[in-house]
Amino acid sequence: MIKSFLTFFIFLIGFSAFSQMQDHINWNYSTKRVSSTEAELILKASIDKGWHLYGQYFGAGGPIRLVFKFEQSKDFKTDGKVIESPKPKEIMDDVFEMKVQFFEGSATFIQKIKILTPVAFSVKGSLNGQICMEDGACIMENEDFEFKFAAAEKNKAATTSIDSVKVTSTNIKDTIKVANNSKPDSISIIKNSIKIETSNPNSTSSLWLFFWVSFLAGLLAILTPCVFPMIPMTVSFFMHGGKSKRRAKAEAIFYGFSIIFIYTVIGTLVAFTLGPSFANFLSTHWLPNIFFFLIFLFFAASFFGMFEIVLPSWMVNKADKQVDKGGIWGPFFMAFTLVLVSFSCTGPIVGAVLVQSAGGAFLTPIIGMLGFSLAFALPFTLFAFFPSWLGNLPKSGGWLNTVKVVLGFIELALGLKFLSMADLTYHWHILDREVFLAFWIVIFFLLGVYFLGKLKFAHDDDVKFVSVPRLFLAVITFSFVIYMIPGMLGAPLKALSGYIPPMTTQDFDMNQIVRDNSGSGSSPVKSELCDVPKYNNILHLPYGIKGYFDWEQGLACAKSQNKPIFIDFTGNGCANCRKMEEYVWVDPRVLERLKNDFIVVSLYVDDKTELPENEWIKTPEGKFKKTIGDKYSYIQETRFKANSQPHYIILDTDGNQLGLPRFFDLDKDKFVEFLDNGLESFKKKAEK
């Protein structure tokens, strides 16, 4: 244990020395008294040429924004937000796919305060932010400060004066690299001493994508047998009773907004109960993943016609009685009745949207339900608004049940992903790659057979002939099945990388057998590992790469063989990690370097395997990191100020970082360059 902590301590010193060499911004602090009860705290930044400092007030999910924190005190209180001067530049950042604001050259920040005491006092605080170059190299800007105010003089008129300012700690800067292809959900945020946000599903691009996916789900819900026939019934409700056209249209609009309101309230309730604090638990723990798998299985069985999901009749009847009362609340309760009656068809779809958003941040389920309800309400509102369109609608029939069954097949396939996530994280080996593929091959083969009318469920009509659309759908489905079959023998299936289990879980890998026995491909490994890797019975590296899964063991071997260390922060459930391995690592140039020139150490940040007690890490708060995942997630966050995966770093034998890290980027040439630069830096340092 002592050796473990000593190694960690040496690593921290090396990294700190490396990071503090970089200083591209200077801060000047002053105060301005406006009156005996008001003052301004002035923080002025001088920024080196070629660098820019990100501002405070732009959307979350992009670069790290500037944050000022002032310690609370009975002597003063802050008055409003921190004022920026001059106005920051605003551009559309292609990397983060959002508008960002930043300062170049210099910037002044002013915080107004109300003085609550006549005696001398001080204002303490800290600033946290990020300055970057155009090429993507970024430095964390963390600094503590203290403003001192003298005692107020009696009967003194309002004057302008400068009080003393003391910087109480030196800058702490940590160099990080934002990869060209990094998405907003891969950026960590430093707050106070250490606070890392998880990947951010609330980024603008992610929310918009989820909105449109949910919108599509809402359109699909309309094409179900318990929703589609209700459109004419809805229109007749708004047109009966001798209502004027103006009133009928007003009620139709209110009806549509009522549907959106009801579903959005559902999303809001999910946001409050399953907010961002549950994100890691929901994505990695076996209990919620098994629960979600069973929910999808339950929904699929319902769509196949095994049973109907029906709400209590008293609930539907009560809402229906409110409709008959009419007035302004008539359309609302009509909407509420629609939601209840159609629940047997919409419930599984709504459930799928909410399950997909449950591990996200606060806004995700709300946005999901907003998109779903908007699409769901649109046709009801439009047909109520323009009843003459009803004549163009296709008649209800067996095609509606076909849509329902197809959704059942899709839900069955998607549900396996949740079971796979739990299986990977806990190493149950129930759903290895070839088993997962076997399930998908059978599911989509049966879907193709269903399109051809050769598979029939309880509520299906007889298919006397195959229509052209059904034939096209069958061709697409069978083509997908044929594409997956070679995966049973170890074909990479790059189009599905990240969605199916990794290649390392495959028992029979033809490519690996050929590599091991033919000696072709990359050059043979020049040296073996120092000792048997810990956890090699549950964790594996792809493509015959030999390496470690333990920090201390990898560092010791690097010292013994005098090789640089290639650190790979990864995860069992990391889709982008699998994409990097299947698109980039598989490149012969990359494989050759990883096998021959580096000690590869893959650190799994989501693995639930318990560590021996002597390997636990105790945090400053007195908590213990007891699993493999907790230990290496903590090291990644505290040492490298990041929490996204994949995250690649090259170190020397003393644990000092060589060059800038690399994140998700499928450019093979840049990855080779990253490895070569690290190796060259290691050799130069060894020569010195």
pLDDT in tens, 524-552: 444 478 889 998 888 889 888 999 999 89
Task: Assign domain 23-172 one CATH number from 2.30.30.110, 3.60.20.10, 3.40.640.10, 2.60.40.1250.
Answer: 2.60.40.1250
Q: Which residue ranges in the chain fall short of pLDDT 50?
A: 1-22, 155-202, 225, 241-242, 275-280, 311, 315-316, 319, 323-324, 344, 359-360, 520-527
Residue 365 identity: P
DSSP run (H or E) holding 143: strand 137-149
Residue 184: what pLDDT? 33
Residue 479 identity: S
Question: Three-state SS for 538?
Answer: coil
Helices 363-385 and 245-273 cross at an angle (nearest 10°) of: 170
In this structure, what are the phi and psi dihedrals at residue 69, rounded to the nearest 5 degrees? -125, 130
User: Do the beta carbons of residue 566 and residue 573 sit within 8 Å?
Assistant: no
- Neighbouring residues of 101: CB distance < 8 A, sequence distance ≥ 6: 54, 55, 57, 58, 88, 89, 90
Please tell me if the domain spanning 23-172 has the same topology as the one spanning 521-687. Answer: no
Structure token digits, residue 622: 């007195």
- One-letter-per-residue 3-state SS of 636-687: HHHHHCCCCCCEEEEECCCCCECCCCECCCCCHHHHHHHHHHHHHHHHHHHH
Structure token digits, residue 56: 């405070």
Structure token digits, residue 405: 């069954």
Paired with 567 in beta bridges are 601, 649
User: Do the beta carbons of residue 239 and residue 387 sit within 8 Å?
Assistant: yes
The secondary structure of residue 547, as a DSSP letter, is E
Looking at CATH, the fold of the domain delimited by 521-687 is given as Glutaredoxin (3.40.30)
DSSP run (H or E) holding 81: strand 76-85
Give the start-end residues of each E strand in 150-269: 165-166, 175-177
User: Do the beta carbons of residue 561 and residue 529 sit within 8 Å?
Assistant: no
d(CA 56, CA 78): 17
Structure token digits, residue 519: 């000696």
Residue 677: what pLDDT? 92
Domain residue ranges of the chain, discontinuous segments joined by +: 23-172, 212-431, 521-687
User: Do the beta carbons of residue 152 and residue 120 sit within 8 Å?
Assistant: no
- Helices assigned H by DSSP within 285-389: 286-303, 313-324, 329-341, 343-357, 363-385
User: Do the beta carbons of residue 374 and residue 260 sit within 8 Å?
Assistant: yes
DSSP letters for 100-127: EEEE-SEEEEEEEEEE--SS-EEEEEEE
To the nearest 10°, the Cα dihedral for 320, 325, 328, 334?
Answer: 10
d(CA 611, CA 634): 14
